[in-house]
C-alpha cells in the first residue's frame, strides 16, 4: 500500500526547543522530535515531512503547497499563532486537508489567552500536554482518522 503523506508544521519559536523554557516545553530539540516522528512514520507506513517557520505567511504558503503535493494529513503546532491566526484557519479551510492541532504543554492549564484556539473547532482532533509525545499521538490519530474517513 502507498505510504500516507503527512506534513508536520511547527510555528514560531519552536526552533528553540531544547533551550526554550525546558520546564514547559521539555529538553528535546526540534530535530529530535522530527527524527522520532519520521522513525515512527516508517513503522506506520507514513512518509513524514517537517517544516518550521517563525513567519505566519510561510506557514500559510506551506499549507497551500500541501494540497499541490497531495498531502493526506497535517499535524500542526501553530504555537502562538494558535491564539491569533485567522490566516492559518482560512488556509486550512481552503485546502480541506484533515489536520490535528498539537501542543507540547497543556495550554488549558496556562494563561487565559492560551485557552482559545482559532483552529481547534475545524481540526479533526486536538492533543495538548504530553510534551513531544503529543506529536506521536497526533500521528497515530491522523493515520487512524484517515483509515476511517477516506
Ligand atoms: C505551544 C503553546 C502556545 O501557547 C505557545 O505560544 C507555544 C507553544 C505548545 O506547544 O505548548 O509557542 O503551542
Tell me phi and psi for residue 77, to 5 degrees: -105, 100
Q: Where are the domains of the chain?
A: 4-149
From the list 119, 71, 84, 82, the residue with the least C-alpha distance to 104 is 82
Closest atom, ligand 1, to C-alpha of 25: 11
Domain 4-149 has CATH 3.30.465.10: no
Tell me phi and psi for residue 8, to 5 degrees: -110, 120
Q: Which residues line ligand 1 (CB under 6 A)?
A: 13, 77, 79-80, 82, 103-105, 107, 114
Predicted confidence pLDDT, tens digits, the chain (150 residues): 899 999 999 999 999 999 999 999 999 999 999 999 999 999 999 999 999 999 999 999 999 999 999 999 999 999 999 999 999 999 999 999 999 999 999 999 999 999 999 999 999 999 999 999 999 999 999 999 888 876
Tell me phi and psi for residue 67, to 5 degrees: -65, -40
Sign of the Cα pseudo-torsion (71, 87, 122, 21, in order) = positive
Confirm if 7 and 66 have CB atoms less than 8 A apart: yes
Residue nearest to atom 13 of ligand 1 (CA): 79
Q: Taking the model in full, what pTM does it have?
A: 0.97
Catalytic: 25? yes
3-state secondary structure of 82: helix
Q: What is the DSSP string of 22-80?
A: HHHH-S--HHHHHHHHHHHHHHTTEEEEEEE-S-HHHHHHHHHHHHHTT--EEEEE-GG
Amino acid at each position: 500500500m502507498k505510504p500516507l503523506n503527512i506534513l508536520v508544521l511547527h510555528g514560531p519559536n519552536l526552533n528553540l526547543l531544547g533551550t526554550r523554557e525546558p520546564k514547559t516545553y521539555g529538553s528535546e530539540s526540534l530535530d529530535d522530535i522530527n527524527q522520532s516522528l519520521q522513525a515512527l512514520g516508517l513503522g506506520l507506513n507514513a512518509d513524514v515531512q517537517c517544516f518550521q517557520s517563525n513567519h505566519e505567511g510561510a506557514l500559510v504558503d506551506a499549507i497551500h503547497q500541501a494540497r499541490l503535493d497531495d498531502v493526506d494529513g497535517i499535524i500542526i503546532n501553530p504555537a502562538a499563532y494558535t491564539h491569533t491566526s485567522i490566516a492559518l484557519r482560512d488556509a486550512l479551510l481552503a485546502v480541506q486537508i484533515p489536520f490535528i492541532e498539537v501542543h507540547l504543554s497543556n495550554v488549558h492549564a496556562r494563561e487565559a489567552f492560551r485557552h482559545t484556539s482559532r483552529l481547534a473547532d475545524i481540526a479533526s482532533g486536538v492533543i495538548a500536554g504530553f510534551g513531544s509525545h503529543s506529536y506521536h499521538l497526533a500521528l497515530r490519530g491522523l493515520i487512524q482518522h484517515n483509515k476511517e474517513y477516506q
